[in-house]
Structure 1
């Protein structure tokens, strides 16, 4: 791709406010959301995530921004979280008041607040330390959009949701039991989910041509692989621990 000159142009990454304002306005406009494409993305994030980020390149070429301008993914994801958390509350006999509190905390804390914090950290890290220096002063300086960092988190978190909210729900009677096998199975489930999250995080930033040393995002996988056997040997069951926090 030929370098773009900065004469007479303002790069899209310095105009975040109008893009973000338009993004928020479209949240309440269901008919303007591309629901079919959102489900296509969710499916391929679990089966072939590289295809999703190939389409991210196309989006940059057509819309001149890396981030999605359609909030459908976030809206549908929140609905999935509400349904999954409600199923847990029904299965474990929680009261209506406690169920509402659990649903709100999962959507607002586990997904939105955690996503905002993680996206902000990754946005700061990539822009401060991982961007390649451009020796040509006439080339537009490219930066990671904060909204794109949040998109990467959402993409990465969806397969984790499938494993730790959906799959875990159906095998939870086995996982919360006592014994070595439930401990082993629970830790393996969490190890795969967390490792896949960081792998997708890596893919999300590796697709940006102006970033360097994006393998940094793969380092947490090594830490997870090291810690998992230690947790298994210690008898720690992450599923039972989380269940005791919310459904004791």
Structure 2
């Protein structure tokens, strides 16, 4: 597993996400697949979610068992199961609606792979994770107060996380040169 490359990708997903998808294009040229073949980024995100669950457990004074349950929910439900659903929807919609009909001039591999759709979810999830799981933890004392300004701040974090996720999905689908229909 290439953890150095995975850490580089996670960093650039926050700083310059287009650069990550340019790298994905080079990966396609060398390995003839759009999907990532190294699970290191999955391991790193799962580790980040585990550490985040421990931090949230300290914030809410959970027991060790509750902390492990929270970590399991964050990794399995929030990341993997949501990723399975989102990747399947992205894969289905992009192959049905976003791919140009086959022609003599279009490339033969103009089909979105399911694994690539899951990679798109993974890439979009990390900035979302930083906003909702990490940033929200730091402003938790403010967000928990009972007034409209604090409610607005909490909802703004969710809006920012959703916007980051949507932008990440857009870049991922736009990263494949064939993903626009004429």
Task: Tell me the TM-score normalised to structure 1 length.
Answer: 0.70
Structure 1 partner of 2:76: 108
Residues matched between the structures, number: 181
Task: Say yes or no: does 1:55 pair with 2:23.
Answer: yes
**Preserved contact between residue 134 and residue 141 of structure 1 (Cα < 8 Å):** no
The structure whose RCO (Cα within 8 Å, separation 6+) is larger is 2
2:170: which partner in 1? Answer: 202
Shift in alpha-carbon separation, 1:127–1:86, aligned structure 2, 3 A: same
Q: Is 1:77 matched with 2:45?
A: yes
Q: Encode CA deviations 1:139-159: one digit per residue, 9 max, x unaligned.
A: 524211111100000100100
Matched, 1:181 2:155: no
Larger radius of gyration: 1
- What TM-score does the superposition give when structure 2 sets the normalisation length? 0.95
Structure 1 stretches lacking a partner, 5+ long: 1-32, 214-248
Tell me which stretches of 4 or more aligned residues in structure 1 moved more than 3 Å.
Answer: none
Which whole-Å CA distance do the structure 2 matches of 1:105 and 1:189 have between them?
A: 21
Residues 59-111 of structure 1: CA distance to partner in whole angstroms, max 9, x if unpaired? Answer: 00000001111000001100000000111112211122222211111110000
Change (3 A) 1:134 1:181: same
